[in-house]
Amino acid sequence: MQKKTKKYKNQMWQRSSFLVRAMIIFLIFVAGILIIFLNLPLIFRGYLTLTVVESSSMSHQIDFNEYWTAYGNWYEENNISKQQFSEFPLKNGFNKGDVIIVWKTSELKIGDIITFKKAFDSKKPIIHRIVSIDKQGIIQTKGDNTRNQSKSETNITQNQIIGKAILKIPLLGWPKIWLDNL
């Protein structure tokens, strides 16, 4: 019986078109990503999570010097020099569809990229760069691809913070974005 099943599977695979094979591989890939997304927080007890970038607020899409020419004035007015910014983690931002690996930590500094929940809406987290931290630990953030801060980026408290971005995986989040849009 087992031989017949194996023979049938091989015949079906050989008869299927390239498009069917590609669809099967794509579905296996998407299922694998979903399994990883759902289980990483459990495996790492909430200290490591994945966040899919769903907006372009951190996108540079130009080289660093061009970026600084377009956006640097805001940072300089807020006491962050081009040299300081060039030493920040993930200084070139990231794009919609990238996956960001986030580590839960309370050790944060200016230039770190964090994910946090808005005070008034905790459905989707925001991922932005820290631009200041006051003496009480209140954090101000800004999306790299925005000209100014919005109200949701200011006065972030420790209990709103999910974690700090430690690594980016380009484009891996697109299947999740497509599924969300369905």
Mean pLDDT of 146-157: 80
- The count of other CB atoms within 10 Å of the CB of residue 143 is 21
Check pLDDT > 70 for residue 11. no
User: What does the pLDDT read at residue 38?
Assistant: 67
| 20 backbone dihedrals φ, ψ, rounded to 5° | -65, -45
Check pLDDT > 90 for residue 140. yes
User: What does the pLDDT read at residue 15?
Assistant: 63
The structural architecture, per CATH, of the domain 45-181 is Ribbon (2.10)
- The count of other CB atoms within 10 Å of the CB of residue 9 is 10
Q: Which long-range contacts (CB under 8 A, 24 or more apart) does 27-32 make?
A: 29/175, 30/175, 30/179
User: What does the pLDDT read at residue 175?
Assistant: 79
User: What does the pLDDT read at residue 131?
Assistant: 94
**With a threshold of 0.85, does the pTM exceed it?**
no
User: What does the pLDDT read at residue 114?
Assistant: 94
Q: pLDDT tens for residues 18-67?
A: 777 788 888 888 777 767 766 666 666 666 677 888 888 888 888 899 99
Check pLDDT > 80 for residue 130. yes
Residue with the bigger pLDDT between 181 and 158: it is 158
User: What does the pLDDT read at residue 86?
Assistant: 93
User: What does the pLDDT read at residue 147?
Assistant: 81
User: What does the pLDDT read at residue 118?
Assistant: 80
**Where along the chain do its domains lie?**
1-43, 45-181
Check pLDDT > 70 for residue 117. yes
| 12 backbone dihedrals φ, ψ, rounded to 5° | -65, -45
Q: pLDDT tens for residues 85-114?
A: 999 988 888 899 898 988 888 889 999 999
